[in-house]
Amino acid sequence: QQPVQSPQAVILREGEDAVINCSSSKALYSVHWYRQKHGEAPVFLMILLKGGEQKGHDKISASFNEKKQQSSLYLTASQLSYSGTYFCGTPSGNTPLVFGKGTRLSVIA
């Protein structure tokens, strides 16, 4: 079962912050985050494995709330290079990884 991402799309001006949410109707044991730029393959951002875990690099970070069965990706002081589609992925049943439908992020000058 696909995780649900929100919002579906967001437009930001450079320097603004954004939050992308990923939730599941089933228990979450791990969450992957990937970014795909237009015309390219998805690229790994980070994996969260434990409830309460937070990770980040540069100005992109994520948190994982097991109890709420959700993860959030935080983009701080967005740059033009952050534009793309962000996907979360979670295990589902016997399938090791199922992706959500993605959140399209557009950063404008």
Partner 1 sequence: EAQVTQNPRYLITVTGKKLTVTCSQNMNHEYMSWYRQDPGLGLRQIYYSMNVEVTDKGDVPEGYKVSRKEKRNFPLILESPSPNQTSLYFCASSLVGTSALYNEQFFGPGTRLTVL
Residue 2 sits in the site that holds partner 1 (CB under 8 A): yes
The phi-psi region of residue 77 (left if phi > 0; otherwise alpha if psi is between -120 and 50; otherwise beta) is left
- Of 10-18, 55-63, 72-80, 94-102, the segment contacting partner 1 by CB under 8 A is 94-102
* 5 close to 98: Cβ distance less than 8 angstroms: no
Fill in the DSSP letter of residue 52.
Answer: T
Coil, strand or helix: which one is 29?
coil
Element of type H or E holding 96: strand 95-99
Binding map of partner 1 across residues 56-85, x = CB under 8 A, - = no contact: ------------------------------
Considering only residues 18, 91, 105, 107, which one is a binding residue for partner 1 as defined by CB under 8 A? 91
Shortest CB 43 distance to partner 1, Å = 7
Residue 38 sits in the site that holds partner 1 (CB under 8 A): no
Phi, psi of 80 (to 5 degrees): -55, -35
Shortest CB 108 distance to partner 1, Å = 21
Nearer to partner 1 (CB atom), residue 31 or residue 107: 31
Report the distance separating Cα 44 and Cα 50, nearest Å. 18
Give residues in contact with partner 1 (CB under 8 A): 2, 29-30, 32, 34, 40-44, 47, 49, 87, 89, 91, 94-102
